[in-house]
Amino acid sequence: MKKLTVETHVFQDDGSIPNNPSLSVMIYKGALAEDPEKTEGIFNKNNWLNSWSGGVFPYHHYHSNTHEVLGVIKGTARLQIGGEKGKEFNVEPGDVMVLPAGTGHKKLDSSEDFEVAGAYPDGMEYNLRKGKEEERLLAIEDIKEVPLPDKDPVYGVDGPLLENWIKEQPPEKEFIDVKIR
């Protein structure tokens, strides 16, 4: 496993998919290319649990109550991240995408053998949101409450995820004690 340059992308709320207003999508191109079959185990070792392997839904969806990591085990795909106004990414074995809570994702097309491993920090149970108006207000509130993970899903405590996401957090609001005269 080698450290690579990490791509970061910020996606704005598109009116249907909220995305995440304060955390970047992070893409680790080829981070696990030496042995993509070990992807799920690496995620689990770094406390990204409740893991699974399979495909990516062919419709826009997101999880409002947890962050998600996707690592390509085999095959190739073209994914759209960030909703209808998002960006397309070509992924291949060894690529890893960390999606902050609220980030829309969809499979546009793939090879027949395409397979990813997915996992969630601390094994969080995930919900499935599809950008429906009736779920929007609660989803936006959920997204604000999702804690930062303790470890990067690939590199553990030394990974770029924590450094990047901590820098992106808005500062705590200070309360000023105002005396009324």
Mean pLDDT confidence for 85-89: 96
Q: Check residue 167 and give its pLDDT.
A: 77
Q: What is the pLDDT of residues 146-161, one digit of tens each?
A: 999 999 999 999 899 9
Q: Which of 51-55, 107-111, 163-167 has the lowest mean pLDDT?
A: 163-167
Identify the band that residue 36 occupies on the pLDDT scale cut at 50, 70 and 90: very high
CB 4 within 8 A of CB 28: yes
Distance CA 32, CA 2 (A): 8
Q: What is the pLDDT of residues 119-151, one digit of tens each?
A: 999 999 999 999 999 999 999 999 999 999 999
Mean pLDDT confidence for 91-104: 98
CB 74 within 8 A of CB 110: no
Asked if the model's pLDDT at residue 174 lies above 60, the reply is: no
pTM: 0.90
Q: Check residue 169 and give its pLDDT.
A: 66
Identify the band that residue 176 occupies on the pLDDT scale cut at 50, 70 and 90: very low
Distance CA 109, CA 101 (A): 23
User: Positive or negative, the Cα torsion across 46, 50, 56, 58?
Assistant: negative
Asked if the model's pLDDT at residue 83 lies above 80, the reply is: yes
In the chain, the domains with their CATH numbers are: 6-168 (2.60.120.10)
CB 107 within 8 A of CB 77: yes
If one counts every other C-beta atom within 10 angstroms of the C-beta of residue 180, the result is: 3
